[in-house]
Amino acid sequence: MLAALVEQLKQTGLQADPADPAGPEDVACDMCPGRKRKAIRSCLNCLASYCENHLQPHYSAAPLQKHKLVEPSKKLLENICSRHDEVMKVFCRTDQQCICILCTMDEHKGHETTPAAAERAERQKELEENRQQIRKKIQDQEKELKRLQQEVRDACVSADEAVKNTEKIFTELISLLQKRRSDAKQRIRSQQEAQVLRVKEVQEKLEQELNDLKKRDAELEQLSHTEDHNQFLQSYALLSAPSDIADSCGIDAGPLRHFEDMTAAVSELRDKLQDILRDMGTNTLQMVSSSQPEPKSRAEFLKYACEITLDPNTAFRTLELSKKNRAAMVGYVDESYTPNPERFSSYRQVLSRQSLTGRCYFEFKWVGIGIFVAVAYKSIKRGGREDESLFGFNDQSWALRCDFECLSLKETGYTFCHNKAETSVSGPQSCKLGVYLDHSAGVLAFYDVSETMTLLHRVQTTFTQPLYAGLGFYFGDGGDAEADSITTRTTRRKAKMNKTMR
Tell me the per-residue pLDDT of 55-109, one tens digit each, with 9 for 90 and over.
999 998 888 988 888 888 888 877 888 888 888 889 999 999 999 888 998 889 8
Determine the Cα–Cα distance for residues 475 and 480; give it in Å rounded to an integer: 12
Quick: pLDDT tens for 289-316: 444 678 888 888 998 888 889 999 999 9
Q: Average the pLDDT over 138-143 and give the result.
A: 90
The amino acid that residue 254 corresponds to is: G
Phi/psi of residue 247, nearest 5 degrees:
-95, 100
Q: Average the pLDDT over 31-48 and give the result.
A: 87
| pLDDT the model gives residue 376 | 95
Supply the angle between the helices 116-224 and 229-239 in degrees, to the nearest 10: 160
| pLDDT the model gives residue 12 | 58
| pLDDT the model gives residue 283 | 55
Determine the Cα–Cα distance for residues 178 and 155; give it in Å rounded to an integer: 33
pLDDT range class, residue 18, cuts 50, 70, 90: low
Q: Average the pLDDT over 229-256 and give the result.
A: 63
| pLDDT the model gives residue 394 | 93
DSSP-derived pairing of the beta strands 443-449 and 432-438? antiparallel
Half-sphere exposure of 437 (CA within 13 A, CB side): 25
- Check pLDDT > 90 for residue 374: yes
Q: Please, which residues have CB within 8 angstroms of residue 175's CB and are 6 or more apart in sequence?
A: none
E strands, 167-263, where? none
Direct distance between the N- and C-terminal alpha carbons of the chain, in angstroms, rounded to an integer:
128
Structural contact between residues 355 and 378, judged by C-beta atoms closer than 8 angstroms: yes
- Check pLDDT > 70 for residue 407: no
Distance of CA 254 to the CA centre of its chain: 55
| pLDDT the model gives residue 497 | 31
Structural contact between residues 51 and 29, judged by C-beta atoms closer than 8 angstroms: yes
- Check pLDDT > 50 for residue 288: no
Query: How many CB atoms lie under 10 A from the CB of residue 448?
Result: 18
Determine the Cα–Cα distance for residues 499 and 502; give it in Å rounded to an integer: 6
Residue ranges and CATH numbers for the domains of the chain are 304-483 (2.60.120.920)
Q: Average the pLDDT over 463-477 and give the result.
A: 81
Q: Please, which residues have CB within 8 angstroms of residue 5's CB and are 6 or more apart in sequence?
A: 57, 61
- Give the residue from 393, 473, 469, 394 showing the smallest Cα distance to 434: 469
Three-state secondary-structure class, residue 333: coil
Quick: pLDDT tens for 52-66: 889 999 998 888 988
Supply the angle between the helices 116-224 and 260-284 in degrees, to the nearest 10: 180
How many residues in total does the chain contain?
Answer: 502
Q: Please, which residues have CB within 8 angstroms of residue 160's CB and are 6 or more apart in sequence?
A: none
| pLDDT the model gives residue 435 | 94
Mean pLDDT, the chain, as a whole number?
A: 80
More confident residue, 265 or 417: 417
Structural contact between residues 340 and 382, judged by C-beta atoms closer than 8 angstroms: no
Three-state secondary-structure class, residue 170: helix
Flag the least confident range among 148-162, 274-288, 360-374, 478-492.
Answer: 478-492
pLDDT range class, residue 280, cuts 50, 70, 90: low
Q: Please, which residues have CB within 8 angstroms of residue 290's CB and are 6 or more apart in sequence?
A: 438, 440, 441
- Check pLDDT > 60 for residue 253: no
pTM (2 d.p.) = 0.42
| pLDDT the model gives residue 484 | 38
The amino acid that residue 95 corresponds to is: D
pLDDT over 70 for what percent of the chain?
81
Q: What are the residues facing 321 on neighbouring strands? A: 328
